[in-house]
Chain A
Amino acid sequence: MKILVPVKRVVDYNVKVRVKPDQSGVDLANVKMSMNPFCEIAVEEAIRMKENGLAEEVVAVSIGSQQAQETIRTALAMGADRGIHIVTDETVEPLAVAKILKGVVDEESPDLVILGKQAIDDDSNATGQMLAALLGWPQATFASKVEKDGDELKVTREIDGGLQTVGMSTPAIITTDLRLNEPRYASLPNIMKAKRKPIDQKSPDDFDVDIAPRLEVLKVTEPPKRKGGVKVESVAELVDKLKNEAGVL
Protein backbone atom coordinates (compact mmCIF):
# COMPACT_ATOMS: atom_id res chain seq x y z
CA MET A 1 0.00 0.00 0.00
CA LYS A 2 1.15 3.52 -0.77
CA ILE A 3 0.04 6.39 1.47
CA LEU A 4 -0.09 10.06 0.55
CA VAL A 5 -0.04 12.55 3.44
CA PRO A 6 -0.84 16.20 2.74
CA VAL A 7 0.72 18.54 5.34
CA LYS A 8 0.15 22.25 5.95
CA ARG A 9 2.43 24.92 7.39
CA VAL A 10 0.50 27.08 9.86
CA VAL A 11 1.03 29.45 12.79
CA ASP A 12 2.29 27.46 15.77
CA TYR A 13 -0.64 26.43 17.95
CA ASN A 14 0.74 28.23 21.01
CA VAL A 15 0.93 31.63 19.32
CA LYS A 16 -1.72 34.18 20.25
CA VAL A 17 -2.38 35.75 16.87
CA ARG A 18 -3.00 39.45 16.34
CA VAL A 19 -5.35 40.98 13.85
CA LYS A 20 -3.70 43.65 11.64
CA PRO A 21 -4.90 47.20 12.36
CA ASP A 22 -6.01 47.62 8.70
CA GLN A 23 -8.25 44.53 9.10
CA SER A 24 -6.67 42.86 6.07
CA GLY A 25 -5.81 39.71 7.98
CA VAL A 26 -3.79 38.24 10.80
CA ASP A 27 -0.22 39.46 11.35
CA LEU A 28 2.06 36.56 10.37
CA ALA A 29 5.33 38.52 10.13
CA ASN A 30 7.98 37.01 12.44
CA VAL A 31 5.49 34.59 13.98
CA LYS A 32 6.58 31.03 14.72
CA MET A 33 5.24 28.57 12.15
CA SER A 34 4.98 24.78 12.47
CA MET A 35 3.33 21.78 10.92
CA ASN A 36 -0.42 21.80 11.59
CA PRO A 37 -0.92 19.49 14.62
CA PHE A 38 -3.55 17.35 12.86
CA CYS A 39 -1.16 16.86 9.90
CA GLU A 40 1.55 15.65 12.31
CA ILE A 41 -0.88 13.00 13.53
CA ALA A 42 -1.56 12.03 9.91
CA VAL A 43 2.17 11.64 9.19
CA GLU A 44 2.63 9.59 12.38
CA GLU A 45 -0.25 7.27 11.47
CA ALA A 46 1.13 6.69 7.97
CA ILE A 47 4.59 5.91 9.35
CA ARG A 48 3.13 3.49 11.90
CA MET A 49 1.25 1.71 9.11
CA LYS A 50 4.55 1.40 7.27
CA GLU A 51 6.32 0.10 10.39
CA ASN A 52 3.54 -2.46 10.84
CA GLY A 53 4.03 -3.72 7.30
CA LEU A 54 0.74 -2.29 6.02
CA ALA A 55 2.36 0.28 3.74
CA GLU A 56 5.46 0.31 1.57
CA GLU A 57 5.82 3.99 0.85
CA VAL A 58 4.75 7.26 2.52
CA VAL A 59 4.74 10.42 0.39
CA ALA A 60 4.32 13.84 2.03
CA VAL A 61 2.88 16.70 -0.01
CA SER A 62 2.47 20.38 0.80
CA ILE A 63 1.10 23.33 -1.12
CA GLY A 64 2.48 26.77 -0.34
CA SER A 65 5.42 29.16 -0.36
CA GLN A 66 9.12 28.17 -0.41
CA GLN A 67 9.02 27.81 3.37
CA ALA A 68 6.49 24.97 3.11
CA GLN A 69 9.51 22.89 2.18
CA GLU A 70 10.52 22.96 5.88
CA THR A 71 7.20 21.34 6.72
CA ILE A 72 7.84 18.59 4.17
CA ARG A 73 11.36 18.11 5.64
CA THR A 74 9.76 17.67 9.06
CA ALA A 75 7.53 14.91 7.66
CA LEU A 76 10.58 13.30 6.02
CA ALA A 77 12.48 13.48 9.32
CA MET A 78 9.56 11.76 11.05
CA GLY A 79 9.86 8.93 8.53
CA ALA A 80 8.11 9.78 5.25
CA ASP A 81 10.03 8.52 2.20
CA ARG A 82 9.83 11.46 -0.16
CA GLY A 83 8.12 14.77 -0.66
CA ILE A 84 6.19 16.74 -3.26
CA HIS A 85 6.09 20.52 -2.97
CA ILE A 86 3.56 22.47 -4.99
CA VAL A 87 4.97 25.97 -4.89
CA THR A 88 2.69 28.99 -4.80
CA ASP A 89 2.63 32.24 -2.85
CA GLU A 90 -1.15 32.60 -3.18
CA THR A 91 -3.61 31.67 -0.45
CA VAL A 92 -5.15 28.41 -1.58
CA GLU A 93 -8.65 27.53 -0.36
CA PRO A 94 -9.62 23.96 0.57
CA LEU A 95 -11.50 23.45 -2.73
CA ALA A 96 -8.40 24.36 -4.76
CA VAL A 97 -6.17 22.31 -2.42
CA ALA A 98 -8.48 19.32 -2.97
CA LYS A 99 -8.29 19.80 -6.76
CA ILE A 100 -4.49 19.98 -6.72
CA LEU A 101 -4.35 16.92 -4.45
CA LYS A 102 -6.61 15.08 -6.88
CA GLY A 103 -3.98 15.81 -9.53
CA VAL A 104 -1.27 14.44 -7.25
CA VAL A 105 -3.37 11.33 -6.54
CA ASP A 106 -3.90 10.76 -10.27
CA GLU A 107 -0.12 10.83 -10.79
CA GLU A 108 0.89 8.88 -7.69
CA SER A 109 -2.01 6.41 -7.36
CA PRO A 110 -1.86 5.98 -3.58
CA ASP A 111 -4.21 3.49 -1.89
CA LEU A 112 -4.83 5.79 1.02
CA VAL A 113 -4.67 9.52 1.67
CA ILE A 114 -4.43 10.56 5.33
CA LEU A 115 -5.08 14.22 6.13
CA GLY A 116 -5.59 16.20 9.30
CA LYS A 117 -9.26 16.88 10.09
CA GLN A 118 -8.72 20.64 10.03
CA ALA A 119 -6.01 23.28 9.82
CA ILE A 120 -5.78 25.39 12.98
CA ASP A 121 -5.54 28.62 10.97
CA ASP A 122 -8.63 28.66 8.74
CA ASP A 123 -10.51 26.02 10.79
CA SER A 124 -12.43 24.92 7.66
CA ASN A 125 -12.47 21.15 8.17
CA ALA A 126 -13.20 20.50 4.50
CA THR A 127 -10.18 19.45 2.40
CA GLY A 128 -10.28 15.70 3.10
CA GLN A 129 -13.99 15.43 2.42
CA MET A 130 -13.66 17.49 -0.78
CA LEU A 131 -10.81 15.31 -2.04
CA ALA A 132 -12.87 12.18 -1.33
CA ALA A 133 -15.75 13.65 -3.33
CA LEU A 134 -13.58 14.64 -6.31
CA LEU A 135 -12.03 11.17 -6.41
CA GLY A 136 -15.33 9.39 -5.72
CA TRP A 137 -13.62 7.57 -2.82
CA PRO A 138 -15.13 6.67 0.56
CA GLN A 139 -14.10 8.73 3.57
CA ALA A 140 -13.65 8.28 7.30
CA THR A 141 -13.28 11.62 9.00
CA PHE A 142 -12.24 12.46 12.57
CA ALA A 143 -10.51 9.10 13.00
CA SER A 144 -9.30 8.00 16.41
CA LYS A 145 -8.40 4.42 15.43
CA VAL A 146 -7.52 2.76 12.12
CA GLU A 147 -7.31 -1.01 11.69
CA LYS A 148 -6.90 -3.28 8.71
CA ASP A 149 -9.47 -6.05 8.67
CA GLY A 150 -9.14 -8.27 5.62
CA ASP A 151 -9.73 -6.14 2.56
CA GLU A 152 -11.38 -3.46 4.63
CA LEU A 153 -10.15 -0.58 6.72
CA LYS A 154 -12.08 -0.27 9.98
CA VAL A 155 -11.99 3.27 11.23
CA THR A 156 -13.33 4.51 14.58
CA ARG A 157 -14.58 8.08 14.28
CA GLU A 158 -15.17 10.68 16.97
CA ILE A 159 -18.77 11.86 16.67
CA ASP A 160 -20.88 14.17 18.84
CA GLY A 161 -22.45 11.45 20.95
CA GLY A 162 -19.38 9.21 21.27
CA LEU A 163 -17.66 6.92 18.80
CA GLN A 164 -18.71 5.38 15.50
CA THR A 165 -16.96 2.67 13.50
CA VAL A 166 -17.18 2.50 9.70
CA GLY A 167 -15.72 -0.02 7.32
CA MET A 168 -14.46 0.97 3.89
CA SER A 169 -12.63 -0.48 0.94
CA THR A 170 -9.50 1.19 -0.42
CA PRO A 171 -8.63 3.47 -2.07
CA ALA A 172 -9.98 5.78 0.61
CA ILE A 173 -9.57 9.01 2.53
CA ILE A 174 -8.99 9.29 6.29
CA THR A 175 -8.87 12.52 8.30
CA THR A 176 -7.26 12.42 11.73
CA ASP A 177 -8.57 13.50 15.11
CA LEU A 178 -6.31 14.37 18.03
CA ARG A 179 -6.62 11.05 19.77
CA LEU A 180 -5.47 8.89 16.86
CA ASN A 181 -1.86 8.83 18.09
CA GLU A 182 0.97 10.71 19.76
CA PRO A 183 3.32 11.99 17.04
CA ARG A 184 7.02 11.22 17.51
CA TYR A 185 9.80 13.77 17.68
CA ALA A 186 12.27 13.66 14.83
CA SER A 187 15.74 12.73 16.11
CA LEU A 188 18.80 14.69 14.99
CA PRO A 189 20.17 11.81 12.84
CA ASN A 190 16.76 11.51 11.18
CA ILE A 191 16.66 15.26 10.55
CA MET A 192 20.08 14.96 8.87
CA LYS A 193 18.92 11.95 6.83
CA ALA A 194 15.79 13.82 5.77
CA LYS A 195 17.96 16.43 4.06
CA ARG A 196 18.97 13.81 1.51
CA LYS A 197 15.46 12.57 0.80
CA PRO A 198 14.02 13.84 -2.50
CA ILE A 199 11.41 16.61 -2.77
CA ASP A 200 9.82 17.16 -6.20
CA GLN A 201 8.83 20.72 -6.95
CA LYS A 202 5.72 21.44 -8.96
CA SER A 203 3.29 24.28 -9.54
CA PRO A 204 -0.53 24.42 -9.47
CA ASP A 205 -0.39 24.95 -13.26
CA ASP A 206 1.08 21.47 -13.66
CA PHE A 207 -2.29 20.14 -12.53
CA ASP A 208 -4.30 22.62 -14.56
CA VAL A 209 -6.10 23.90 -11.47
CA ASP A 210 -7.51 27.39 -11.14
CA ILE A 211 -6.65 28.45 -7.59
CA ALA A 212 -8.44 31.81 -7.66
CA PRO A 213 -10.28 32.17 -4.33
CA ARG A 214 -14.06 31.81 -4.33
CA LEU A 215 -14.37 33.62 -1.03
CA GLU A 216 -13.32 37.24 -0.98
CA VAL A 217 -12.09 38.28 2.45
CA LEU A 218 -13.73 41.65 3.13
CA LYS A 219 -12.16 42.07 6.53
CA VAL A 220 -10.68 40.30 9.51
CA THR A 221 -11.54 41.71 12.91
CA GLU A 222 -10.93 41.06 16.58
CA PRO A 223 -13.63 39.03 18.25
CA PRO A 224 -15.65 40.97 20.84
CA LYS A 225 -13.55 41.36 23.99
CA ARG A 226 -14.91 40.10 27.30
CA LYS A 227 -14.75 42.73 29.99
CA GLY A 228 -12.53 41.95 32.93
CA GLY A 229 -14.34 40.14 35.72
CA VAL A 230 -13.98 40.18 39.46
CA LYS A 231 -12.37 37.81 41.90
CA VAL A 232 -14.60 36.66 44.73
CA GLU A 233 -13.32 35.73 48.18
CA SER A 234 -15.53 32.78 49.05
CA VAL A 235 -17.91 30.20 47.66
CA ALA A 236 -20.80 31.88 49.48
CA GLU A 237 -20.01 35.19 47.77
CA LEU A 238 -19.75 33.41 44.41
CA VAL A 239 -23.19 31.80 44.73
CA ASP A 240 -24.67 35.07 45.97
CA LYS A 241 -23.31 36.97 42.95
CA LEU A 242 -24.47 34.29 40.50
CA LYS A 243 -27.96 34.46 41.97
CA ASN A 244 -28.43 38.15 42.69
CA GLU A 245 -26.01 39.97 40.35
CA ALA A 246 -25.76 37.75 37.25
CA GLY A 247 -29.16 36.11 37.66
CA VAL A 248 -28.02 32.78 36.24
CA LEU A 249 -28.86 30.64 39.27
Chain B
Amino acid sequence: MTVLVIADHDNAELGESTRAAVTAAKKIGGDVHVLVAGKDAGAVAEAAAKVDGVAKVFHADAEPLEKQLAEAMETLVLGLADDYDAILAPATTTGKNFMPRIAAKLDVMQISDIASVEDAETFIRPIYAGNAMMTVKSSDKKKVITVRPTTFEKAGDQDSAASVETIDAPEAAAASRFVSEELSESDRPELASAKIVISGGRGMGNGENFQILERVADKLNAAVGASRAAVDAGFVPNDYQVGQTGKVVAPELYIAVGISGAIQHLAGMKDSKVIVAINKDEEAPIFEVADYGLVADLFDAVPAFEEEIGKIGY
Protein backbone atom coordinates (compact mmCIF):
# COMPACT_ATOMS: atom_id res chain seq x y z
CA MET B 1 0.00 0.00 0.00
CA THR B 2 1.35 3.39 -1.04
CA VAL B 3 -0.53 6.67 -0.82
CA LEU B 4 0.13 9.88 -2.73
CA VAL B 5 -0.89 13.22 -1.20
CA ILE B 6 -1.01 16.21 -3.50
CA ALA B 7 0.16 19.28 -1.60
CA ASP B 8 -1.89 22.45 -1.37
CA HIS B 9 0.32 25.55 -1.42
CA ASP B 10 0.81 29.03 -2.87
CA ASN B 11 4.35 28.33 -4.18
CA ALA B 12 5.81 29.98 -1.06
CA GLU B 13 4.30 28.10 1.88
CA LEU B 14 2.88 24.65 2.44
CA GLY B 15 -0.86 24.91 3.12
CA GLU B 16 -1.98 23.67 6.55
CA SER B 17 -4.66 21.61 4.80
CA THR B 18 -1.87 19.45 3.35
CA ARG B 19 -0.95 18.36 6.89
CA ALA B 20 -4.57 17.25 7.45
CA ALA B 21 -4.46 15.24 4.23
CA VAL B 22 -1.20 13.56 5.36
CA THR B 23 -2.95 12.52 8.59
CA ALA B 24 -5.78 10.98 6.55
CA ALA B 25 -3.19 9.23 4.34
CA LYS B 26 -1.46 7.73 7.41
CA LYS B 27 -4.81 6.31 8.54
CA ILE B 28 -5.19 4.55 5.18
CA GLY B 29 -1.80 2.97 5.86
CA GLY B 30 1.41 2.24 3.95
CA ASP B 31 4.04 4.66 2.70
CA VAL B 32 2.97 8.26 2.29
CA HIS B 33 4.47 10.26 -0.59
CA VAL B 34 3.74 13.92 -1.31
CA LEU B 35 3.63 15.63 -4.69
CA VAL B 36 4.49 19.33 -4.77
CA ALA B 37 3.50 20.79 -8.14
CA GLY B 38 4.19 24.47 -8.67
CA LYS B 39 6.58 27.09 -9.89
CA ASP B 40 9.63 28.05 -7.81
CA ALA B 41 8.10 26.04 -4.99
CA GLY B 42 11.34 24.52 -3.68
CA ALA B 43 10.68 25.80 -0.16
CA VAL B 44 7.31 24.07 -0.20
CA ALA B 45 8.89 20.77 -1.23
CA GLU B 46 11.38 21.09 1.64
CA ALA B 47 8.60 21.85 4.10
CA ALA B 48 6.60 18.86 2.83
CA ALA B 49 9.62 16.57 3.34
CA LYS B 50 9.63 17.52 7.03
CA VAL B 51 5.98 16.62 7.64
CA ASP B 52 5.64 13.71 10.04
CA GLY B 53 4.97 10.42 8.24
CA VAL B 54 6.09 11.52 4.78
CA ALA B 55 8.51 9.01 3.22
CA LYS B 56 9.23 10.79 -0.05
CA VAL B 57 8.47 14.03 -1.87
CA PHE B 58 8.14 14.52 -5.62
CA HIS B 59 8.75 18.02 -6.82
CA ALA B 60 7.59 19.18 -10.24
CA ASP B 61 8.47 22.75 -11.12
CA ALA B 62 7.14 24.44 -14.24
CA GLU B 63 5.24 27.46 -15.46
CA PRO B 64 1.95 25.62 -16.24
CA LEU B 65 1.86 24.27 -12.69
CA GLU B 66 2.06 27.67 -11.01
CA LYS B 67 -1.69 27.92 -10.50
CA GLN B 68 -2.30 24.14 -10.46
CA LEU B 69 -4.78 24.39 -13.34
CA ALA B 70 -6.75 21.18 -13.65
CA GLU B 71 -5.61 20.27 -17.17
CA ALA B 72 -1.90 20.44 -16.24
CA MET B 73 -2.40 18.64 -12.92
CA GLU B 74 -4.30 15.83 -14.64
CA THR B 75 -1.38 15.00 -16.93
CA LEU B 76 1.19 15.25 -14.14
CA VAL B 77 -0.65 13.09 -11.61
CA LEU B 78 -1.69 10.46 -14.16
CA GLY B 79 2.01 9.99 -14.89
CA LEU B 80 2.55 8.94 -11.27
CA ALA B 81 -0.75 7.19 -10.58
CA ASP B 82 0.33 3.64 -11.51
CA ASP B 83 2.43 3.31 -8.36
CA TYR B 84 -0.30 4.28 -5.90
CA ASP B 85 -3.27 2.61 -4.24
CA ALA B 86 -4.78 5.89 -3.15
CA ILE B 87 -4.39 9.52 -4.21
CA LEU B 88 -5.47 12.26 -1.81
CA ALA B 89 -5.73 16.02 -1.93
CA PRO B 90 -7.19 18.52 0.51
CA ALA B 91 -10.75 19.58 -0.38
CA THR B 92 -9.73 23.17 -1.13
CA THR B 93 -11.05 24.88 -4.26
CA THR B 94 -7.83 23.80 -5.99
CA GLY B 95 -8.13 20.14 -4.99
CA LYS B 96 -11.84 20.04 -5.79
CA ASN B 97 -11.01 21.42 -9.22
CA PHE B 98 -8.41 18.92 -10.44
CA MET B 99 -9.09 15.71 -8.49
CA PRO B 100 -12.32 14.60 -10.25
CA ARG B 101 -10.49 14.92 -13.59
CA ILE B 102 -7.90 12.48 -12.36
CA ALA B 103 -10.57 10.12 -10.99
CA ALA B 104 -12.45 10.08 -14.30
CA LYS B 105 -9.26 9.34 -16.26
CA LEU B 106 -8.50 6.45 -13.91
CA ASP B 107 -12.13 5.30 -14.24
CA VAL B 108 -12.75 5.48 -10.48
CA MET B 109 -15.44 7.23 -8.47
CA GLN B 110 -14.00 10.05 -6.38
CA ILE B 111 -14.80 10.03 -2.69
CA SER B 112 -15.33 13.73 -1.96
CA ASP B 113 -14.62 15.65 1.23
CA ILE B 114 -14.08 12.70 3.59
CA ALA B 115 -14.46 13.43 7.29
CA SER B 116 -13.12 10.08 8.53
CA VAL B 117 -11.07 7.06 7.42
CA GLU B 118 -12.56 3.79 8.76
CA ASP B 119 -10.17 1.51 6.88
CA ALA B 120 -8.32 1.52 3.56
CA GLU B 121 -11.60 1.12 1.65
CA THR B 122 -14.21 2.65 3.95
CA PHE B 123 -14.76 6.34 4.50
CA ILE B 124 -17.31 8.67 6.07
CA ARG B 125 -18.41 11.81 4.29
CA PRO B 126 -21.08 14.44 4.94
CA ILE B 127 -24.06 14.72 2.58
CA TYR B 128 -27.11 17.03 2.47
CA ALA B 129 -25.16 20.04 3.78
CA GLY B 130 -23.80 18.01 6.68
CA ASN B 131 -27.24 16.89 7.86
CA ALA B 132 -26.31 13.25 7.32
CA MET B 133 -23.07 11.28 7.41
CA MET B 134 -22.63 8.56 4.79
CA THR B 135 -20.30 5.60 5.28
CA VAL B 136 -19.13 4.29 1.90
CA LYS B 137 -17.00 1.34 0.85
CA SER B 138 -15.17 1.80 -2.41
CA SER B 139 -14.85 -1.12 -4.81
CA ASP B 140 -12.45 0.77 -7.07
CA LYS B 141 -8.87 -0.49 -7.37
CA LYS B 142 -7.48 2.95 -6.74
CA LYS B 143 -9.04 5.42 -4.38
CA VAL B 144 -9.19 9.07 -5.39
CA ILE B 145 -10.13 11.12 -2.35
CA THR B 146 -10.48 14.73 -1.27
CA VAL B 147 -10.02 15.35 2.45
CA ARG B 148 -12.03 17.78 4.58
CA PRO B 149 -9.14 19.61 6.30
CA THR B 150 -11.06 20.62 9.43
CA THR B 151 -11.81 17.10 10.68
CA PHE B 152 -8.26 15.71 10.60
CA GLU B 153 -5.45 16.77 12.89
CA LYS B 154 -2.61 18.59 11.21
CA ALA B 155 0.47 16.35 11.05
CA GLY B 156 3.48 17.96 12.77
CA ASP B 157 7.11 17.82 11.73
CA GLN B 158 9.40 14.78 11.87
CA ASP B 159 13.02 14.52 13.04
CA SER B 160 14.67 13.85 9.72
CA ALA B 161 13.39 15.11 6.41
CA ALA B 162 12.33 12.72 3.65
CA SER B 163 14.11 12.77 0.31
CA VAL B 164 12.97 15.18 -2.38
CA GLU B 165 13.01 13.90 -5.96
CA THR B 166 12.62 16.28 -8.87
CA ILE B 167 10.34 15.06 -11.64
CA ASP B 168 9.57 16.38 -15.10
CA ALA B 169 6.51 18.53 -15.56
CA PRO B 170 4.16 18.08 -18.51
CA GLU B 171 3.79 20.60 -21.31
CA ALA B 172 1.14 23.29 -20.92
CA ALA B 173 -2.34 22.32 -22.03
CA ALA B 174 -3.17 24.58 -24.95
CA ALA B 175 -6.90 24.64 -24.33
CA SER B 176 -6.83 26.69 -21.14
CA ARG B 177 -4.63 29.37 -19.63
CA PHE B 178 -4.33 31.44 -16.50
CA VAL B 179 -5.23 35.07 -17.11
CA SER B 180 -5.27 36.89 -13.77
CA GLU B 181 -6.00 36.68 -10.10
CA GLU B 182 -7.59 39.02 -7.60
CA LEU B 183 -6.80 37.94 -4.06
CA SER B 184 -8.25 39.48 -0.92
CA GLU B 185 -5.49 40.96 1.17
CA SER B 186 -5.57 40.62 4.92
CA ASP B 187 -3.14 40.54 7.81
CA ARG B 188 -5.52 38.38 9.79
CA PRO B 189 -5.14 34.60 9.94
CA GLU B 190 -6.59 32.51 7.15
CA LEU B 191 -10.28 31.74 7.66
CA ALA B 192 -10.01 27.97 7.30
CA SER B 193 -7.23 27.59 9.88
CA ALA B 194 -7.93 30.41 12.37
CA LYS B 195 -8.43 29.47 16.04
CA ILE B 196 -11.13 32.10 16.43
CA VAL B 197 -13.58 33.20 13.74
CA ILE B 198 -16.03 36.08 14.03
CA SER B 199 -18.68 36.16 11.31
CA GLY B 200 -21.32 38.68 10.33
CA GLY B 201 -24.61 38.21 8.52
CA ARG B 202 -27.36 40.29 7.02
CA GLY B 203 -27.88 41.91 10.43
CA MET B 204 -24.66 43.88 9.94
CA GLY B 205 -26.65 46.19 7.65
CA ASN B 206 -23.76 47.24 5.42
CA GLY B 207 -20.10 46.66 4.64
CA GLU B 208 -18.81 49.53 6.76
CA ASN B 209 -20.36 48.03 9.87
CA PHE B 210 -18.06 45.02 9.45
CA GLN B 211 -15.38 47.29 10.94
CA ILE B 212 -16.79 46.64 14.40
CA LEU B 213 -16.16 42.90 13.84
CA GLU B 214 -12.72 43.61 12.40
CA ARG B 215 -11.72 45.52 15.52
CA VAL B 216 -12.65 42.54 17.68
CA ALA B 217 -10.92 40.19 15.22
CA ASP B 218 -7.70 42.21 15.40
CA LYS B 219 -7.67 42.03 19.20
CA LEU B 220 -8.32 38.28 19.28
CA ASN B 221 -6.10 37.48 16.28
CA ALA B 222 -9.24 36.04 14.70
CA ALA B 223 -10.39 35.67 11.10
CA VAL B 224 -13.52 37.41 9.84
CA GLY B 225 -16.16 35.35 8.06
CA ALA B 226 -19.62 35.99 6.69
CA SER B 227 -22.90 34.34 5.79
CA ARG B 228 -24.05 34.08 2.21
CA ALA B 229 -26.58 36.86 2.83
CA ALA B 230 -23.76 39.24 3.78
CA VAL B 231 -21.71 38.27 0.73
CA ASP B 232 -24.64 38.51 -1.69
CA ALA B 233 -25.52 41.93 -0.27
CA GLY B 234 -21.97 43.00 -1.16
CA PHE B 235 -20.86 43.68 2.44
CA VAL B 236 -17.69 41.56 2.06
CA PRO B 237 -15.94 39.56 -0.71
CA ASN B 238 -17.11 36.02 -1.50
CA ASP B 239 -14.04 34.32 -0.05
CA TYR B 240 -15.31 35.33 3.42
CA GLN B 241 -18.28 32.99 3.03
CA VAL B 242 -18.70 30.18 5.54
CA GLY B 243 -21.12 27.39 4.63
CA GLN B 244 -22.02 24.50 2.35
CA THR B 245 -20.93 26.46 -0.70
CA GLY B 246 -18.22 28.51 0.96
CA LYS B 247 -15.53 27.49 3.42
CA VAL B 248 -15.89 24.87 6.12
CA VAL B 249 -14.35 26.02 9.39
CA ALA B 250 -13.97 24.34 12.77
CA PRO B 251 -12.23 26.86 15.05
CA GLU B 252 -11.99 26.75 18.85
CA LEU B 253 -14.41 29.66 19.01
CA TYR B 254 -16.95 30.76 16.40
CA ILE B 255 -18.82 34.00 17.03
CA ALA B 256 -21.91 34.44 14.81
CA VAL B 257 -23.13 38.02 14.76
CA GLY B 258 -26.43 38.91 13.10
CA ILE B 259 -26.61 35.49 11.43
CA SER B 260 -29.94 33.63 11.57
CA GLY B 261 -28.37 30.18 11.09
CA ALA B 262 -29.73 28.72 7.84
CA ILE B 263 -28.95 25.02 7.14
CA GLN B 264 -26.40 26.07 4.52
CA HIS B 265 -24.49 28.27 6.97
CA LEU B 266 -24.53 25.68 9.77
CA ALA B 267 -22.98 23.20 7.31
CA GLY B 268 -19.83 25.30 7.37
CA MET B 269 -19.35 25.90 11.09
CA LYS B 270 -21.22 23.45 13.29
CA ASP B 271 -18.08 21.46 14.09
CA SER B 272 -16.61 24.49 15.86
CA LYS B 273 -15.64 23.72 19.47
CA VAL B 274 -17.55 26.61 21.04
CA ILE B 275 -20.24 28.57 19.21
CA VAL B 276 -21.44 31.99 20.35
CA ALA B 277 -24.48 33.66 18.81
CA ILE B 278 -25.31 37.34 19.12
CA ASN B 279 -28.70 38.08 17.61
CA LYS B 280 -31.65 40.24 18.55
CA ASP B 281 -34.16 37.61 17.34
CA GLU B 282 -34.38 35.06 20.13
CA GLU B 283 -36.15 32.62 17.76
CA ALA B 284 -33.19 32.54 15.33
CA PRO B 285 -32.16 28.92 14.59
CA ILE B 286 -28.51 29.78 15.35
CA PHE B 287 -29.40 29.61 19.06
CA GLU B 288 -30.15 25.87 18.67
CA VAL B 289 -26.47 25.16 18.00
CA ALA B 290 -24.91 27.96 20.05
CA ASP B 291 -23.20 27.07 23.33
CA TYR B 292 -23.63 30.65 24.49
CA GLY B 293 -26.38 32.86 23.14
CA LEU B 294 -26.86 36.54 23.74
CA VAL B 295 -30.14 38.13 22.68
CA ALA B 296 -29.11 41.71 22.02
CA ASP B 297 -28.67 44.37 19.37
CA LEU B 298 -25.29 43.63 17.82
CA PHE B 299 -24.48 47.32 17.53
CA ASP B 300 -24.51 47.55 21.32
CA ALA B 301 -23.18 44.08 22.05
CA VAL B 302 -20.14 43.95 19.75
CA PRO B 303 -18.53 47.23 20.96
CA ALA B 304 -19.28 46.13 24.54
CA PHE B 305 -17.64 42.77 23.78
CA GLU B 306 -14.57 44.60 22.48
CA GLU B 307 -14.42 46.56 25.72
CA GLU B 308 -14.85 43.47 27.91
CA ILE B 309 -12.09 41.49 26.19
CA GLY B 310 -9.91 44.57 26.65
CA LYS B 311 -10.42 44.18 30.38
CA ILE B 312 -9.06 40.62 30.32
CA GLY B 313 -5.93 41.63 28.51
CA TYR B 314 -6.68 41.54 24.76
Contact = CB atoms under 8 A, between A and B. Distances in A.
B173 interface: yes
Contacts of B125: 123
B103 to A, nearest CB: 7
Nearest to A168: B176
Interface string A149-178: 000001001111111111111001000011
A163 B181 contact: yes
B101 interface: yes
Find the residue from A117, A130, A134, A172 having the highest chain B CB count within 10 A.
Answer: A130
A117 to B, nearest CB: 8
Interface of A is mostly: mixed
A231 B122 CA distance: 40
Contacts, number: 261
A219 B122 CA distance: 11
B274 A248 contact: yes
Contacts of B292: 229-232, 238, 241-242, 246
Interface range for A: 35 or more
A2 B271 CA distance: 44
B132 to A, nearest CB: 5
B165 interface: no
B94 A160 contact: yes
Given A231-B293, A249-B253, A140 B176 contact: yes
A183 B181 CA distance: 26
B203 interface: no
B43 interface: no
Contacts of B274: 242, 246, 248
A178 B231 CA distance: 11
Contacts of A246: 253, 274, 291-292
A234 B292 CA distance: 11
Contact of B128 (A11, A160, A213): A11
Contact of A164 (B104, B178, B291, B314): B178
A214 B126 contact: no
Given A172-B175, A232-B294, A126 B103 contact: yes
A232 B220 CA distance: 21
Interface of B: 10, 67, 69-71, 74, 92-94, 96-105, 107-113, 122, 125-140, 173-184, 192, 196, 220, 228, 231-232, 237-239, 244-245, 247, 252-253, 263-264, 270, 273-276, 282, 287-296, 301, 304-305, 308-309, 311-312, 314
Interface of A: 11, 13-14, 16-17, 19, 26, 93-95, 98, 117-118, 120-134, 137-142, 144, 154, 157-169, 172, 177-179, 213-223, 226, 228-232, 234-236, 238-239, 241-243, 246, 248-249
19 contacts: A94-B100, A123-B127, A128-B100, A131-B104, A134-B104, A139-B71, A160-B92, A164-B178, A164-B180, A165-B181, A168-B175, A214-B108, A221-B132, A221-B135, A226-B291, A229-B275, A229-B289, A238-B305, A248-B273
